[in-house]
């Protein structure tokens, strides 16, 4: 089961900073690849490029996020070339959220309106800059959660992104494995063949899950909020780990081709999950065995996790 990690560009540039020490631990776990998020402003852009450059020195497969926010088509093409010149050949093409102060999306002057247009631009730039557009793998976003109309709109957009040349998709955060299974079933019905990798956030930090709810509009289930409100830190962590592993088991059973873990630069929870999967021999199917392994992992890792 391929497992990958998502990182934010570290705010601390020094290679000996705690963040980079954590990144090194993630890399030593041999993920399938590491992705680097991308901000809207120029400073975040430079930080993302710097992070990509440093990750390349570790010889780890690297995925660069790229958004259409506040950039013209020409600026995006130049940025794509800079990413290629770093040796990166994998890009996650995203439209991005409206810039701060804007409630609705509006393309910048000379810019792009849709992620599908960015996919096409990446292919076009690869053909001219690398002389081979097939040397690049392009990921896009998929959205399992939401109301009926938003799901239909997201499915239509996914079909357009595939038609533009996308190779695979990674989901936005979601909390119900049935939503992921429904998405896979809907892609089959609509003739979409993109592999869709579930994006997973460890269910161990309720404040972070609630912030994600504010950002994405995807509500944290009441049951999960209750479990993560447990005052006993050790029990709270154990319950969060158990819920995460049950969730992973369900999405893998639904047909997940891999797992993409949102780390938020918190190394320990991501490594705990990877350790569990390897301990389980990929994914446990027997509930009693899964329960025992969760308990063992929680007992072994809780002291480290609570301090990172």
- Dist CA 202 CA 301 (whole Å): 14
The phi and psi torsions of 140 (rounded to 5 degrees) equal -140, 175
Higher pLDDT, 136 or 41: 136
The predicted model gives 213-219 an average pLDDT of 89
pLDDT at 158: 97
Ordered by start, the domain boundaries in the chain are: 3-221+244-266
Residue 85 above 50 pLDDT?
Answer: yes
Task: Indicate if the pLDDT at residue 120 is higher than 80.
Answer: yes
Mean pLDDT within 88-103: 88
Q: What is the pLDDT of residue 156?
A: 95
Mean pLDDT of the region 113-133: 94
- What architecture is the 3-221+244-266 domain classified under in CATH? Alpha-Beta Barrel (3.20)
Among 6-20, 40-54, 129-143, 265-279, the range scoring the smallest mean pLDDT is 6-20
Note the pLDDT tens digit of each residue in 172-183. Answer: 999 999 999 999
User: pTM for this structure?
Assistant: 0.89
- What digits encode the pLDDT tens for the residues 230-244? 999 888 988 888 899
Q: Average of pLDDT values for 61-71? A: 94
For the cut 90, the answer to whether the pLDDT of residue 154 exceeds it is: yes
């Amino acid at each position: 089961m391929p497992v990958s990690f998502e990182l934010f560009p570290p705010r601390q540039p020094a290679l000996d900073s705690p963040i980079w020490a954590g990144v090194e631990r993630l890399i030593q776990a041999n993920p399938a690849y590491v992705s680097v998020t991308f901000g809207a402003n120029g400073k975040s852009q430079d930080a993302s490029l710097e992070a990509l450059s440093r990750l390349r020195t570790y010889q780890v497969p690297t995925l660069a996020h790229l958004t259409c926010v506040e950039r013209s088509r020409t600026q995006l093409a130049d940025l794509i070339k800079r990413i290629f010149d770093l040796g990166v050949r994998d890009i996650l093409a995203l439209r991005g959220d409206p810039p701060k102060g804007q409630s609705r999306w509006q393309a910048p002057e000379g810019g792009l309106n849709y992620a599908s247009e960015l996919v096409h631009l990446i292919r076009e730039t690869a053909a001219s800059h690398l002389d081979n557009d097939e040397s690049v793998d392009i990921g896009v976003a998929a959205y399992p959660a939401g109301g009926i109309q938003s799901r239909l709109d997201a499915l239509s957009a996914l079909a357009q992104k595939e038609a533009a040349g996308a190779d695979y998709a990674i989901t936005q955060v979601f909390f119900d494995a049935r939503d992921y299974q429904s998405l896979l079933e809907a892609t089959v019905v609509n003739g979409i063949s993109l592999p869709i990798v579930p994006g997973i956030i460890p269910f161990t930090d309720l404040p972070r899950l609630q912030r994600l709810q504010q950002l994405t509009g995807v509500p944290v289930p009441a049951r999960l909020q209750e479990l993560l409100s447990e005052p006993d830190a050790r029990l709270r962590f154990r319950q969060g780990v158990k819920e995460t592993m049950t969730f992973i088991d369900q999405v893998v059973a639904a047909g997940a081709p891999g797992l993409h873990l949102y780390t938020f630069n918190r190394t320990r929870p991501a490594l705990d999950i990877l350790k569990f999967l390897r301990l389980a021999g990929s994914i446990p199917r027997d509930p009693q065995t899964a329960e025992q392994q969760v308990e063992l992992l929680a007992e072994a890792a809780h002291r480290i996790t609570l301090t990172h």
